[in-house]
Chains A and B, each alone.
Chain A
Amino acid sequence: MEYPFEQIELEGKLIRTFQNDVDDEELKWHFDLKDRWVTILESNGWMFQLDDSLPNKLNSGDKIFIPKFAWHRVIKGDGDLKVSIEEVE
């Protein structure tokens, strides 16, 4: 399966980068199998949306908790989006 981001693992965390030329259509609604803490490292106008909620702008330094099985997606902004993801056992 192809993903719309590049990813490296660093000290137990996933560092994920979405390029600014990613196709909107690839940023699909999805859910994950584990709880996650996501820290925004770099964002320029990107937004995050949880199911049944309105999109929220992402800013560098923001920390978001995403419960497992919670539908969510990101919405493209300008520039790249870089996040650090920590899965919670």
Chain B
Amino acid sequence: MRNVLEILREYVEDKENPTLVVKEGVKMSEGLKYHIDNNLSLTNNIFRTYSPAYFDLVNEVRDLYEQGLVQLNEEDTLMVESDLGKVVIVDNQEIYLDAPYIVEDEEDEDVLEEAKHRGKNVKLNKPFRTSGGPKKFAVYVKSKSGGIKKVSFGDPNLRVRNNNKGAAKSFRARHKCDQKKDRTTAGYWSCNVGRYAKQLGLSSSNSW
């Protein structure tokens, strides 16, 4: 749970660095209006991460930003200056750019237990590259209930750009990496890939 100090710090930062300050008379969506009315930044997008509404809001703010119609704080600026939410067509399929998957692969613990019975030993908290899996990396962790859980993370179609300062800062802000403390989630491991650069074959050990 967040403590009072964190809430106060956020409040002061918000006051000093206002964001989503739209020029008068600009037409906007209900989603953007909601964020402004509730003093929410783009980084704290109320919509489900990477849902259509999430991307629509990012793209709407980017359009306004490029026209000089909105003032943003540093984190939101990094977000709209990235490629997040932009779409390219690959093999007749729409692909959103700069959107690494944060998907938890909550594998059935029984399956893993069974795998152990078959003699498969797994090392806990040692992320590794997957071969042919739906995600780029995976790690076995002890779940809160005491079983073993496999967490998969990272988009195999995207490069890990933790060596790019701007991209790294944008990623950390977007995924609220400072709040990702739970080792049983994909978010934690995505935010901390730099620590495991060597074993994951990454060129940079920078934190995001």
Contacts and interface: CB of A to CB of B under 8 A. Distances in A.
Nearest to B35: A54
The prevalent SS among residues of A at the interface is: loop
Given A23-B1, A54-B34, A71 B51 contact: yes
A49 B46 CA distance: 9
Given A1-B145, A23-B1, A25-B179, A51 B53 contact: yes
Interface string A1-28: 1100000000000000000010111000
B52 interface: yes
Contacts of A25: 179, 182
Interface residues on B, range: 10 to 19
A67 interface: no
Interface in A52-80: 52-55, 71, 73
Contacts of A71: 48, 51
A52 B1 contact: no
Nearest to B33: A54
B144 interface: yes
Interface string B28-54: 001100100000000000111101110
Query: Which of A25, A49, A55 has the largest count of B CB atoms less than 10 A from its CB?
Result: A25
Given A1-B145, A21-B1, A23-B1, A55 B48 contact: no
Contact of B144 (A2, A23, A53): A2
A52 B51 contact: yes
Contacts, number: 33
B111 to A, nearest CB: 15
B153 to A, nearest CB: 16
A42 B34 CA distance: 25
Contact of A29 (B30, B31, B48, B52): B48
A73 B53 CA distance: 15
A52 B145 contact: no
B187 to A, nearest CB: 10
Query: Which of B34, B47, B51, B179 has the largest count of A CB atoms less than 10 A from its CB?
Result: B47
B144 A52 contact: no
Contacts of B30: 54
Contacts of A53: 53
| 5 nearest A-B residue pairs (beta carbon) | A52-B53, A29-B48, A54-B34, A2-B144, A23-B1
26 contacts: A1-B143, A1-B144, A1-B145, A2-B144, A2-B145, A23-B1, A24-B1, A24-B2, A25-B182, A29-B48, A29-B49, A49-B46, A51-B47, A51-B51, A51-B53, A52-B48, A52-B51, A52-B52, A52-B53, A54-B31, A54-B34, A54-B46, A55-B46, A71-B48, A71-B51, A73-B48
Interface of B: 1-2, 30-31, 34, 46-49, 51-53, 106, 143-145, 179, 182
